[in-house]
Structure 1
Amino acid sequence: MREQGPLYDNPVDQEIWGMASGEVYRTLQSTLGRSRTVQAPLLLVLIFASVLAGKTLSKPSGTSGEPAEVQDSFQFVTHSYSNYLPTLLGNGYLSTSTPWNGTSASAAALAGLYDHLEQNSYAYQALVPSWNGFDYWNGSHWLDSLSPAKAHLEGYLQTLDIYHGLLTTRFDWVDGDHVTHIRIIEFASRQEPHLGVVQVELTPDYGVTVGPVTFSFPLGGEIGPPFVWEGAELPGAIPIRSVRADGDLHGYVADCETRDGRTRVVEAVRVGLPSSLPPMHQVNLGFSPNLASPALNVKFIVQAGKTYTFTKFVAVYSSLDSQSPASQAQALARQAEAAGFDQVLQEHEVAWQKLWTTDILIRGDVEAQRAVHAAMYYLFSELRAGSDASIPAMALPSRAYLGRIWWDADTWVFPAVLALHPELARSIIDYREKRLAAAEQNARERGYRGALYPMESAHSGEEAAPEWSSEIHVTGDVAMAQWRYYQATGDTAWLRSHGYPVIKAVADFWASRATYDHQHHDYQILHVTGPNEAITDVGNDAYTNAVAKRTLEVATDAARLLSETPDPEWARVAAGLVIPFDEHRQVHLEHSGDEQGKYAHALILLTYPLDLKLSASVVQNDLNACLKNFGKPGYEVGMLGNFYSIVASQLGDRDLAYKLFLSMIRSYAQPPFEQMTETPSNGRAVFLTAESAFLQQIVFGFTGLRWTDEGLKPVYPPLLPPTWQSLELRGVKSRGNIYNIRVTSANKLVMTQVGR
């Protein structure tokens, strides 16, 4: 390993690394042979085998490096509504799934809002009544009553503008001899987290001959198959308990409650009416108080060729974030209506543009650029500064994994977001700190000291899935994220008051959880489940023991940094912890007893992100062991392959790193919106764990950067994919400074301070 180079405190470009060198690991043919024999999902096997064999897969056309190409990487377009895979709109608090036609009510959620099937049962992510729905009666049919198979929509175009956080849908609805030109714009306001906005523009080519038409603005009404998770069928959105119309019949309020009775949610609607309406005595304003789907209805006779533009403002508050959710929701909805669509949209767009002042730019690979921007958008959409809700593995409003918080947040999401937007990443560590008391109680109940964080956590921080309580490595993941935040910021005041109490409590847990083996004179951690959940109740899981070791070492370092006295047991246990290793083959074992490497899966985590001091040959052997299983059933989840690529870069194997990188895009990023699924075939999206792991390949893999005790530092030579002209990380934050970091095609890294 080369010595760490300095970060520079002046705006003069500094060359940090020269051309990378070193022996390149090449086992492509043997890996190809393995991938042909395993019974993996077909898509992953074909794509992974293809890239390893060096086959060329089709890429989007266009010339790389032009400004228009970069701009295009923020626009995701579809002309087809058959087999529609929805994506999301979100602002870190309020989120919704995108409807195929832009009008149908779709699932919606609030970050951190959980419910229970029964009293004292385990928590699951609650849905709130859909806020984005709109319907239209053209004199013959309701628009939303038509399925994709039955709808006749001409000129269909849906655009997800991720630079501005907007979904726009356009089409001509052809219903017999009636044609209606429709455009819908919707967004969850980035500026005002409690606000969702939908604007509908309709131009009918018919008029009085069809009689009155109706424009309807409902809440709720989502239609879809029941959601079943691990045998349990979850109910839909939380029920609306009461509704009341505003006096002017331009809006209404819906009062909702979670099924466990613990949380109140209020949604207030205001509808901005078009100036092109007929005189009000010719307009019928009505309100339907149906609790399943209340709606404001506007009925009148349209004129052929005239455009009617309605704007629906929906404000959402819960008793978790407001003592007066009803009054605050009503006030915000009215404020938005008074400000008008253009102003609310402008404020929303400006807020998104501020997020994009931090960016990742790739010259020479349009496909990679689009995937990177998509990943950034999905992560930004689920995080918010000032929130302590953290981030689930699957983006809301999906309820896969019940919307709970896993180690995914601390290890897979946090490091990359920390470099891009530490104010967003802070949500992840604040969530853990505020649930320290619950983790301490969890440890006490099991007879241990310190804090034991649950593998699956919801609002309270209590153990949400006792059946997985043996997967205790998450506790170390939590502590390491706290330490990384200190590494990134250098904020010792924060460390003393917030981070160190968590790190210390976790170290105390590991010291009490490890047992001393008098026969072998070492410490062991027995009866656990590691990251490879295919096998449970193992001894000395490599990753569990390694993250415990690193936590104990970090706790000692943090104590000394703060002039505290570290517990000497921390260092003693850290030095003696067993990490299973085959001396003959010079390779780690997934856990004690896995001498044949049958379960090799997460060994590479010892190198990245834990950064254990290992020889290059051992790292190579660990990577080889993992690649033997990569793609097999149970080993194709879209997260670890990204870290395999990072380690390949660290070893200087550019070809393998790039081919793994490509396999992540082409196996997991689904068209048309490039959202990553959990596996190539299960359709669960948006899998945020994979999105951020993918970004870590860029931020830490191809650049050689790492979080160190001195901030973000180049630790390994940069190594760009062969087709890339350059890679630029723009607006990266480290130790209170802002940097632009550029890697050239000659693999030279230049770091420029551009602000504080």
Structure 2
Amino acid sequence: MKHRTLFVLTLLLGGIALSGCPGGNNDAETTVTPTLRPTRDAKATGAFVDTDPWLLTTTDANAARGNQGIYLSNGTIGATFGNRGFGDKEGVVYRTGLYDEKEALRPIPAGHIAAIAAPKPDEPYRQTLDIRRGVLSTEYDRSTVTAFVSAARPDIVVIHVKGIPKNEIMSGATDRLGKSEAIFGAKGVPTRYVCADYAYGADPDATDSFTAVYALSEAVTEQGAKKAAATAAQTALASGFEALLTEHTLAWESRWAESGITIDGDPEAQQLVNKLMFDLLQSVRVGGDDSVAPEALSGNFYKGHIFWDADIWMFPALLAQYPDAAKNLLDYRYKHLPEARAIAEAQGFAGADYPWESASSGRETAPSGFSTERHVTAGVGFAAWQYFLATGDTAWLKERGYPVLSGVADHFSSRAKKNVASGKYEIKGVFGPDENKGKVDNNTYTNALAKYCLEAAGKASKIVGKPVDPKWAEVAKNIALPFDKEKGAYLTRDADELKSTKQADGELVIYPARLPMPKATAEKTFDLHAPRPIKTGPAMTASMHALIAARLGRDEEAERYFRESYRPFVRGPFALFSEKRTLDRCVFTTGAGGILQSVIYGFGGVDFDDWDAMAKAPVALPPTWKSLTIRGVQHQGKRYTVTVTKDGRTVTAE
């Protein structure tokens, strides 16, 4: 066994590269032509072949190049692999919580690779991503490269090469490992250190196979980080490749055994939900207190910052079946409750006001205008209450959930000002989801979600034995919710001109804000706003439209929006998800969360606010779906299977 040699850097990290992804290289030769908006029956180019729904595969040696590298993670380390199974570009990896002094997610440099020559046009080639096992395999004429980011050991990435004698491996890189990177805290000073290290060796009794282990560890001191990385790499290598692969595979198998989504009659949708749930699950470190950025650990286009994406789009997608993973996102918000209180106090308000963008310090890191996008705070309170409704965890509610939820309620009861003439409480000068509009008064979604939090805080107070602030109920009952009586629908804001919007906004009062209203009002509100979002906006809008249409019982309309939520955005044979139709980025976990919500809460009808009414709620399945089964839905400490057919919905205890 050898340690800290030049070769492993070239083998391992040259291809754990963000080749062309946000924050990485973007060479002209890797430019991908944007996908045009498809018709209803169009297919996402290259993806969703009729095969095993857990395997994504290609024989195109150019597929995993440029912006379309394959993202693998364990919630601690994020890496993107190229078409060679490890790649040939200088690249980087990312580690959760590793931000620089400017609060941008810091890439860890990798080396340049010249290890295995690129496949020739006539050479046999196959690359396969096994979603169930979290393993990438790249097969050449006489060799196979197997790669994974260990789900069993948070600090390591493993590469195994079979079929090439060690003396045929070429190298020629600059060794950049062993260098420590500082993690900066709230005061702009290092609080922890991260160090990369590696080890490699030939497999026992083998002449043409070997294993490389890359470790990325952190500690309070620089020397501690170096020691931890070296130990992690050497210990893992000593275990052997087969043992590392087995423990990694078992970790994933146990995860999938807990829960699942089965769509009978639509192999494309089945493969899609498998891949998107995989992307979400692999981006969360269960038991940690870090949240998930819009592109997870695949790049730093958004600097790795945390937005409303985490609480409103990703959290609910995990909550129904994987509340332990969803809890991480809440624990991040609880960890930064003191900073949220400081933000509110600095503005002259009570309670807790969460930043639109945040990183390791919990402070506001957004450009000045966007710092008024206050629906993010309501989204945090919403997620906290949803977690309690799903789990029934009163100990968590008392210790963590209630401090967050009551802080959010205190903030909105302080921020909302009473209009003496109308008697309504108003929230003025805020950004809504339609960011193109800028600051507005009484964004209906913001106010409706604030109302939800104010009412939830009152209920939570009684559960944990805390006094109920009477102003919460007063503001909730009388908060301004702009409504057009002639149209019979809620508007997006005061003085709504009913013009185009960046993304879904006014319709969000139906879901996720769940503003109580007659079905006729919900239908008119949805019909008023659904056509408004621009077609170059982010991917989440169509998935929310699919969800709402399904809850309204509109099966064909729900299917149309469901297809539009992914077909224009999925790239290549590995079902990579782009934020916009006209862009190509590696991973957009926000969009993944939206699509999964459309399946779970839309077609599936899961509803933690009204669990007992689920069986009688409207049923809407895409016409091609024979049935939808959602296994492992957790509610109040029990597990359930939700089954939906054209004839109705059943909820059965497991």
Give the match's secondary structure for 1:108.
Answer: strand
Give the match's secondary structure for 2:563.
Answer: helix
Whichever residue aligns with residue 101 of structure 1, its letter is R
The match for 1:402 is 303
- 1:522 matched to 2:522: no
- 1:162 matched to 2:134: no
CA deviation vs aligned residue, 1:488-545 (integer Å, no higher than 9, x gap): 1111111111100011111111011111111222111111101110011211111111
Distance 1:416 1:699 in 2: 8
The match for 1:462 is 363
Distance 1:191 1:382 in 2: 14
Distance 1:319 1:327 in 2: 9
Contact 1:78–1:157 (8 Å) recurs in 2:
yes
- 1:316 matched to 2:216: yes
Whichever residue aligns with residue 108 of structure 2, its letter is V
The match for 1:110 is 95
Contact 1:73–1:366 (8 Å) recurs in 2:
yes
List runs of 5+ in structure 1 lacking aligned partners. Answer: 1-40, 117-121, 137-142, 173-180, 221-239, 244-252, 278-306
Distance 1:382 1:655 in 2: 33
Contact 1:487–1:708 (8 Å) recurs in 2:
yes
The match for 1:193 is 154
List runs of 5+ in structure 2 lacking aligned partners. Answer: 1-32
Cα deviation, residue 718, structure 1: 2.6
CA deviation vs aligned residue, 1:547-571 (integer Å, no higher than 9, x gap): 1111111111111222322111111
The match for 1:264 is 193
Q: Is the alpha carbon distance of 1:350 and 1:182 closer, same or farther for their aligned partners in structure 2, counting shifts above 3 Å?
A: same
Distance 1:444 1:508 in 2: 11
The match for 2:375 is 473
Give the match's secondary structure for 1:706.
Answer: coil
Contact 1:194–1:317 (8 Å) recurs in 2:
yes
- 1:77 matched to 2:6: no
Cα deviation, residue 270, structure 1: 1.1
- Structure showing greater relative contact order (alpha-carbon pairs closer than 8 Å, 6 or more residues apart): 1
The match for 2:29 is none
- 2:280 corresponds to which of 359, 372, 379: 379
Distance 1:727 1:217 in 2: 53
Distance 2:612 2:242 in 1: 42
The within-5 A match list for 1:273-284 is: 273-274=202-203
Cα deviation, residue 739, structure 1: 1.8
- 1:92 matched to 2:75: yes
Distance 1:614 1:323 in 2: 60
The match for 1:299 is none
Alpha carbon RMSD of aligned pairs, Å?
A: 2.7
Cα deviation, residue 726, structure 1: 1.4
Give the match's secondary structure for 2:372.
Answer: coil
- 1:550 corresponds to which of 444, 452, 477: 452
Contact 1:711–1:735 (8 Å) recurs in 2:
no
- Richer in strand (by share): 1
Contact 1:488–1:711 (8 Å) recurs in 2:
no
The match for 1:612 is 515
TM-score (structure 2 length as normaliser): 0.88
Q: Is the alpha carbon distance of 1:315 and 1:712 closer, same or farther for their aligned partners in structure 2, counting shifts above 3 Å?
A: farther
Whichever residue aligns with residue 703 of structure 1, its letter is G
Q: Is the alpha carbon distance of 1:61 and 1:724 closer, same or farther for their aligned partners in structure 2, counting shifts above 3 Å?
A: farther
TM-score (structure 1 length as normaliser): 0.76
The within-5 A match list for 1:412-423 is: 412-423=313-324
Distance 1:542 1:275 in 2: 65
Whichever residue aligns with residue 264 of structure 2, its letter is R
Whichever residue aligns with residue 202 of structure 2, its letter is L
CA deviation vs aligned residue, 1:303-357 (integer Å, no higher than 9, x gap): xxxx621211122112369993222222222221221000011000000001111
The match for 1:629 is 532
Q: Is the alpha carbon distance of 1:591 and 1:153 closer, same or farther for their aligned partners in structure 2, counting shifts above 3 Å?
A: farther
- 1:589 corresponds to which of 491, 495, 499: 491
Distance 1:638 1:685 in 2: 14
CA deviation vs aligned residue, 1:89-121 (integer Å, no higher than 9, x gap): 1111111011121232543111121113xxxxx
Larger Rg: 1
Distance 1:426 1:321 in 2: 29
Whichever residue aligns with residue 114 of structure 1, its letter is Y
Give the match's secondary structure for 1:729.
Answer: strand
Distance 2:220 2:387 in 1: 27
Q: Is the alpha carbon distance of 1:182 and 1:437 closer, same or farther for their aligned partners in structure 2, counting shifts above 3 Å?
A: same
Cα deviation, residue 215, structure 1: 4.6
Q: Is the alpha carbon distance of 1:276 and 1:397 closer, same or farther for their aligned partners in structure 2, counting shifts above 3 Å?
A: same
The match for 1:736 is 637
Distance 2:540 2:385 in 1: 22
Distance 2:490 2:639 in 1: 39
Contact 2:71–2:586 (8 Å) recurs in 1:
no
Whichever residue aligns with residue 506 of structure 1, its letter is V
Cα deviation, residue 575, structure 1: 1.3
Cα deviation, residue 752, structure 1: 2.5
Q: Percent identity?
A: 33
The match for 2:434 is 532
Matched residue pairs, number? 610
Cα deviation, residue 403, structure 1: 0.8
Contact 2:46–2:572 (8 Å) recurs in 1:
no
Contact 1:217–1:312 (8 Å) recurs in 2:
no
Whichever residue aligns with residue 96 of structure 1, its letter is A
Whichever residue aligns with residue 488 of structure 1, its letter is A
The match for 1:503 is 405
